[in-house]
Structure 1
């Protein structure tokens, strides 16, 4: 039954994608974020659902009603294009191009669909729909993990979808922490009390799921995110008290085994996992001097550790987005990677300014602010996790760019005033004059 439901949703999306390829893009986002087929037990588990969806999107571009009507604009989009090109060069000029081909294809597929988001999303309605699908897909997994944490008293570790970028407990936890601010943005657009309360419950369950993963990196990310969320808030005293009570309550709920594990953050010298990461960081730092294009998609090679790490017996994945990029793609790759996120942060800041000046654009202020909160979690938590190729932050980048483009052309070509039924049901009609724009 589960297989039939998943395939039926994908089939429906693909049929609509022939006329409206952006709808197929939403189906792709759902598949890549939630990976529902990984929770099936029949033919859907191995069915090429993502490939079929991508094909439908490209057919829709050729024969559908929607056309790519905007060029690739915005500094983040340009940096993302440069990153894609450099990753390809690193692969082609790396140590083992044939062995890294599968990973390169996986990354290219993700990047191509992010480009599709940059090119296909135009209206506020499309931006809101993509944001809801992006955050909602992970939130559903967060609800499941949060309930599991409650039922096990925090003793059962939470894992992500198997065989994905976030299958490991640490990566899954960071993905949920990044999702919470985006859920908060969606909540800020709701007017109904019950919708807002329900979203609060979802965010709490996602936080519980992240804590239930027993990831120390996620704990640092959620701490940084909470601090920045408080700083961005207007009523700091009231918000601070709410966050403090909620945070203390969640920590008290967790068992002693969780507290013992979190307390080992300061004892990294005695933790072989932590020392393995330090070994990998030294390896990445030193080998980048000899490999200007990087080594490809796998710097965790015993022969490299033997030459470049002071701990050659500790062959370990980088578990850091910064050292992962440095080892795989060299110093130039790292500079492009950092420039991408700096430019995205600045774009989110421009959204905040636009929303502060015009009451009709207030949603942009909310969106830009929560994007920055989400990126704080990614940039802090990512310092201890290997999530360079995870699509979520790149889709947020694309949404920031298209939201800024929408605001730039709004005065010249306003979108038709229309409130979609699903948006009305969720209470997203705070701003009727431009609700669907």
Structure 2
């Protein structure tokens, strides 16, 4: 079913597009962290409020036929109302963030990105903003720009998700040579930025992204051969550029005596106990750290003089949602993820069939959109792997991933008879 959105005036489009671009820029790049004179201006908040006001002015209820908008509304709403049974008010903050900061982005993309040109501009903007993120990672010695990408692990996960999108977008058939070169170089910089974070979870995300890219490649043997040659010829040179102690850090992944590993396992056990005690709705969004101390005595590892873990995060996407929002939250979250993955996979397979026939008038556009469906499908796997060791359940990674996914499917539907974005 093709949804029918109301037409916007040229002025509304210009204002909305400007606010959307600024919002994405401030959300990811966070220039106020580097240019401190911007902090008193509160520009990110003002832009977010402006975008929210624009969405309210141009609101179209048809937008909620797109699953990404429904997901942000429902999951954000659940997080907000979980305050009713939560210990800490952080649930209100999380819910409001999803509904006031993230939902307007999703709705604005639905309202504004309705044709190929705007779609490609959005993708190019998103990739360019990540160039600033990569610069900040190098500048900050492995840390990200701030907020949900401040920590090394958080930054590495976000970058790993961006890698497939940047690489596939660089092969869009009708991009010019300069744009393709920029994106291919950006792909290499992204890989280097993950290494610069020294994050072990981020490295697993990088390996996952590369493995999935190889798995979906049509030249698997060629890639293996080239990789082998490069490893043999340039491997020693590459090792010399790695951060000091990087190899030793990676070796700690499998070390059973590693303190970080032990602490994660301890908190995961507490999260499981917390879930069993609140299996339907959990303890409230973001409330694991405020309940962990009252549950740790039930853990198998606890002893009388054990230190309090009050304020400790779960360090895992899965255990975070398991404890915080339990069965209801997990179902909403992963039902959206798996449904979107299935639609992306189905769409890219359909495009592959069309491109083999070479009969469609808009073949280059369809190929490009098919590649982006594949890129977004691959992009979620680093999130699954790295997220196993990071508390990222409430970060906007999934909001932006879902927003880009359904924007891609919506535009693709205009060129094919695919109905992949249907409910």
TM over 0.5: yes
1:295 paired residue among 283, 299, 302? 283
Matches within 5 A, 1:21-420: 21-42=16-37, 44-61=38-55, 68=60, 70-96=62-88, 98-117=89-108, 119-120=110-111, 121-146=113-138, 157-162=141-146, 164-189=147-172, 191-243=175-227, 245=230, 248=235, 250-251=238-239, 253-267=241-255, 269-291=256-278, 292-296=280-284, 297-301=286-290, 302-312=292-302, 313=307, 315=309, 316-356=312-352, 357=354, 358=360, 359=363, 360-410=365-415
Q: Distance in 1 between matches of 2:129 and 2:175?
A: 22
**Alpha carbons 2:166, 2:183 under 8 Å: kept:** yes
Q: What is residue 3 of structure 2 aligned with on the other side?
A: none
TM-score (norm 1): 0.79
Inter-partner Cα distance in structure 2 for 1:103 and 1:78? 17
Q: Distance in 1 between matches of 2:53 and 2:244?
A: 54
Q: Which moved more, 1:344-353 or 1:67-76?
A: 67-76
Deviation at 1:16, TM superposition (A): 7.0
What residue in structure 1 maps to residue 357 of structure 2?
A: none
TM-score (norm 2): 0.82
Distance 2:84 2:29 in 1: 31
Deviations 1:229-287 (A, max 9, x none): 001111112223445537956455314511111101110x3122111111111111111
Give me the whole-angstrom Cα distance separating, in 2, the residues matched to 1:308 and 1:133: 49
Task: Assess, with a 3 A threshold, how the Cα gap between structure 1 residues 344 and 89 changes in structure 2: closer, same or farther.
Answer: same
Matches of 2:179 and 2:105, distance apart in 1: 30
The question of whether the paired residues in 2 share the 8 Å contact of 1:17 and 1:23 is answered with no
Cα separation, partners in 2 of 1:196 and 1:99, compared to 1, 3 Å: closer
The alpha-carbon deviation at position 329 of structure 1 amounts to 0.9
TM-aligned CA deviation for residue 294 of structure 1: 1.5
Change in 2 beyond 3 A, CA 1:207/1:251: farther
Gaps of 5+ in 2: 1-9, 355-359, 418-423
Q: Which moved more, 1:344-353 or 1:99-108?
A: 99-108
For residue 118 of structure 1, report the CA deviation from its aligned partner.
5.0
| Cα deviation code 1:63-94 (max 9, x no counterpart) | 6xx66484322445444433223222323321
Aligned Cα root-mean-square deviation (Å): 2.8
List structure 1 runs of 4+ shifted beyond 6 angstroms: 15-18
Unaligned stretches of 5+ residues in structure 1 = 1-14, 149-155, 413-437
Q: Cα distance 1:331–1:200, how it changes in 2: closer, same or farther (>3 A)?
A: same
Report the number of matched residues: 384
What corresponds to 1:423 in structure 2?
Answer: none
1:144: Cα distance to partner?
4.8
Check 1:399–1:62 CA distance in 2 against 1; reply closer, same or farther (3 A cut). Answer: same
Asked whether the equivalents of residues 317 and 387 of structure 2 are also in contact (C-alpha less than 8 Å), the reply is: yes
Contact (CA 8 Å) 2:289, 2:313: kept in 1 or not? Answer: yes
Change (3 A) 1:342 1:114: farther
Instruction: Give me the whole-angstrom Cα distance separating, in 1, the residues matched to 2:49 and 2:78.
Output: 26
- Report Cα offsets for 1:31-65 as digits up to 9, x if no partner: 101111211121x12322123223333444466xx
Q: CA deviation at 1:327?
A: 1.4
1:27: Cα distance to partner?
1.3
- The separation in 1 between residues aligned to 2:72 and 2:261, in whole angstroms, is 31
